[in-house]
Structure 1
Amino acid sequence: MSSKNRGTSGAGYDRLALSFKAMGGGLWDYDVEADSLYCNDRWYEIMGLCPERDPVISISDLSKHIHEEDVEAATEVNLEQVSELLSRDQRYHVEFRIIRPDGNVRWLRSVACIIRDDAGHLRAVGCVIDITEFRMLSAESPGWAAGDLANAAVPAGKEDLLSERERECLRWVSMGKTAWETASILGRSQRTVEYHLKNAIRKLGATNKVHACALAIRLSLL
């Protein structure tokens, strides 16, 4: 389906697609009222699907590939909430698990903007990225077994050194993401992400964000 048919500027849509491609994200476009879903090739790659064999053109099609415990959270469409997000110009985001055809379970994060297009249709336009490694990093640290994070000892007096936002930004740094990419993933502005990273660098006495990330891991803060 062409960008023209979706009611979006062709040149602008191409730039948006290239931006998401640079950060490894898959682009999706959902017409809320028509229950019509369009996803690009990268989206299908992340899902482990073939667009010709496993077309996903509606929420019910998508539900088939989502972990049963996450289906409701990932697919619920509340028109009242959608309208509120639109009026406040806020972004929508959700994390959920999918089950690929080969049985591999992956964690995804989906971020979108709610818009009303030229035809007056209410739409959610956004991207999805694979955050499985990020989730693993959140639950593990060098020398620990998976799932032992809750029992890991953080040095005395360091428990509240970093805020949750600062930790979250540093975790994405540890995965090689830039401030711009992190902002897109978290649904925040780049300036906000840079603010959190600067605070983390200052609090840890680091020289840069990579150094701050290494120190945070060493102190069992990530």
Structure 2
Amino acid sequence: MLLLISHLKNLKAGLWDYNIDLDILECDATWHDLLGIGPGMMRSIADFRPFIFPDDVDRATAIDPESVNAMIELDEQYHVDFRVVRSDGQVRWWRSVASLIVDSHHHRRAIGCVTDTTDLHRGDLDPAPAAPPPPERVVPDIASRLSGREIECLRWVSIGKTAWETSRIVEISQRTVEFHLSNAARKLEAKNKVHAAVIAVRAGII
């Protein structure tokens, strides 16, 4: 397992926010860059489907209302691996992780991160695991709320790692990882650990 995630030190996370009830998709500049298209081109799932590898369209975009409601009720996170076809014709693997919430307008939303994991599928791996490097620009107020270990754990959440996988990578117990993630979510006023990771990515912390 550790060898399979060793290359993740160089990954960038692209943010997305999908309003399930209104079918409105908002993605940041990094998300668009990973797909090789200009910012603001994605406004709905229908806009995204042509960029998904044909065999993976259903897996990447299927929405079952009952499953969505159950995941919101149980505070479960969503994750999926699928292929995209960039604007230059390259086929790339993406991992998408998300938090499912109900917003202040009572709309169901999925808020998450995507990373390009093509090297994982090709076996192009680095010799030892390391967390992704910190960003160049950080929002000081939010950054000052979190400890270094909390930020480190959030980095791994942003690329789809479980608490157990993170514990193996950073060599602390799973319970300690969960403790750090719980503290980070509380400090960032997030609904859960994925939501906290999204806030941290948006703020430039990870």
TM-score (norm 2): 0.62
C-alpha contact (below 8 Å) 1:30/1:124 kept by paired residues: yes
Is 1:102 matched with 2:88?
yes
1:136 positional shift: 1.2
Distance in 2 (alpha carbons) for counterparts of 1:194 and 1:95: 18
Report the equivalent of 1:59. 45
Is 1:41 the counterpart of 2:29? The answer is yes
Does 2:118 correspond to 1:132? yes
The verdict on how the C-alpha distance between 1:173 and 1:91 changes in structure 2, with shifts beyond 3 A counting, is farther
Q: Tell me, which stretches of 5 or more residues in structure 1 are unaligned?
A: 1-21, 141-170, 200-222
Deviations 1:94-153 (A, max 9, x none): 01111111111110000000000011110000010000112112xx7xxxxxxxxxxxxx
Preserved contact between residue 91 and residue 187 of structure 1 (Cα < 8 Å) = no
Q: What does residue range 59-78 of structure 1 map to in structure 2 within 5 Å?
A: 59-78=45-64
Indicate the residue corresponding to 1:186 in structure 2: 160
Alignment of 1:76-91 (within 5 A): 76-91=62-77
Q: Which runs of 4+ in 1 moved over 2 A?
A: 171-184, 186-189, 192-199
> Partner of 1:77: helix, strand, or coil?
coil
Change (3 A) 1:128 1:81: same
Query: Is this contact kept in 2: 1:95–1:107, CA < 8 A?
Result: yes
Give the gaps of 5 or more residues in structure 2. 1-9, 133-151, 173-206
Q: CA deviation at 1:23?
A: 5.7
Rounded Cα–Cα distance in structure 1 between residues aligned with 2:15 and 2:126: 20
Task: Indicate if the aligned counterparts of 1:183 and 1:193 stay in contact, CA closer than 8 A.
Answer: no
Task: Determine which structure has greater relative contact order: mean sequence separation of CA pairs < 8 Å that are 6+ residues apart, divided by chain length.
Answer: 2
Paired residue total: 142
**Percentage of matched positions with identical amino acids:** 35
Rounded Cα–Cα distance in structure 2 between residues aligned with 1:69 and 1:175: 31
1:129–1:82 CA distance, 2 compared to 1 (3 A): same
Q: Distance in 2 between matches of 1:78 and 1:172?
A: 38
Q: Is the contact between residue 11 and residue 116 of structure 2 (CA under 8 Å) also seen in structure 1?
A: no
AA in 2 matched with 1:118: S
Report if the CA contact (8 A) 1:93-1:187 is conserved: no
- Counterpart of 2:167? 195
- Contact 1:172/1:182 (<8 A) preserved: no
Partners in 1 of 2:27 and 2:72 — Cα distance? 21
1:202 counterpart residue number: none
One-letter code aligned to 2:21:
E
Letter in 2 for 1:177: A
Q: Which has the larger radius of gyration?
A: 1
Q: CA deviation at 1:182?
A: 2.5
Task: Choose from 74, 86, 93 the match for 2:79.
Answer: 93
The verdict on how the C-alpha distance between 1:194 and 1:124 changes in structure 2, with shifts beyond 3 A counting, is: closer
Q: Distance in 1 between matches of 2:38 and 2:64?
A: 29
- Partner residue, 2:16: 28
SS in 2 for 1:186: coil
Aligned partner of 2:167: which letter? Y
